Amino acid sequence: MLIANAPCSWGIAYPSGNRYGWEQYLDEVAAAGYRGTELGPFGYFPKDAALLKDELARRGLALVGATHVHTLGDAGSAPVLLETLRELAALLVSLGAGHLVIMDESNFYPAGREGVLDEAGWQGLVAMVRDAQKLVETEYGLKLSFHPHIGTAVEKEAQIDRLLAQTAIDLCFDTGHHAFWDQDPLAYMEKIFPRIAYMHLKNVDPAVRARVLAGELSVAQSYGAGVMCPLPDGAVDIGAVMDLLRARGFAGPVVVEQDVADHAAETPLQLATRNLAFLRGL
């Protein structure tokens, strides 16, 4: 099973204004021992396929896919989504990646109403997901998955169930985001396993999570407080997750993601290295 990582583990959430350039990121993710990577925010890496292919090969890295964030709660933005997906999918195909992931944009929602959509807004989201899947899978031959994410319109099990019932989309299942609201990721994986096409491995600090559930911390504040902790240290039994993936013969990408806390004593490289050592030890 090839274990990949992603630029978000180095704090890279936007195409520009990052502490780490794309070449340093590739150097460090390879130095940490990973053999695969996600593309990161579209535009962070060069869009020159030949250049990027050479840079990946030089470091022994495969591109497993990309995760694209979009304001799915804004139905009027559908043409922008499809235009971007065309460009992104073409690049992924040229680089030999087989997967593309979409997720809702949490910054779209006002404070205190994160992920709140009325019925018209929900149906707009569903329509965008359907159109995106048709485009990406029919025209480009990639597998499109949907990433439930905290602070968005698809984060809790009832919302995920509804999306799965109303569309043919499969999931990029994120263990940390699922556990954030004290949901059981392993039980849910067992329930909907045939609809999981892509995995993000994350863990949750139960003490920080408890503060969120008690109303002491907002979702946004919890990131800096370290709610997404290193894989060995949190509430999710990552070993059991990996056992399930192996037992079911999971063949999709498995990507480690590590949000770095404001008070983190380890660098992204050190955290990535420790997370991979933990997985290898399993």
Identify the pLDDT of residue 93. Answer: 98
Identify the pLDDT of residue 193. Answer: 98
CB 150 within 8 A of CB 179: no
* Residues pairing with 62 in the sheet: 36
Taking each helix axis from N to C end, the angle separating 238-247 and 185-192, rounded to the nearest 10 degrees, works out to 10
H-only helix segments in 70-205: 78-94, 119-133, 157-166, 175-179, 185-192
Minimal CA–CA distance to 45: which of 71, 14, 81?
A: 14
Tokens of 181: 């609201």
The length of the chain, given as a count of residues: 282
Digit-coded pLDDT (tens) for 74-107? 999 999 999 999 999 999 999 999 999 999 999 9
**Dihedral angle over CA of 47, 42, 202, 62, nearest 10:** -10
Identify the pLDDT of residue 34. Answer: 98
Beta strands in the chain (DSSP E): 3-5, 36-38, 62-70, 99-104, 143-146, 170-174, 196-201, 254-256
CA 222 to CA 229: how far, in whole Å? 11
Residue pointed to by tokens 């983190």: 264
- Quick count: other Cβ atoms within 10 Å of Cβ 119? 7
Residue pointed to by tokens 């043919």: 168
Segments of the chain with pLDDT less than 50: none
Identify the pLDDT of residue 112. Answer: 84
Task: Sketch the domain layout of the chain as residue ranges.
Answer: 64-266
Tokens of 282: 């399993």
Identify the pLDDT of residue 82. Answer: 98
Digit-coded pLDDT (tens) for 242-251? 999 999 999 9
Identify the pLDDT of residue 111. Answer: 85
Phi-psi region of 40 (alpha: psi -120 to 50; beta: other; left: phi over 0): left
Looking at residue 232, its amino acid is: P
**Cα dihedral 104, 109, 112, 116 sign:** negative
Identify the pLDDT of residue 1. Answer: 87
Superfamily of domain 64-266: Divalent-metal-dependent TIM barrel enzymes (3.20.20.150)
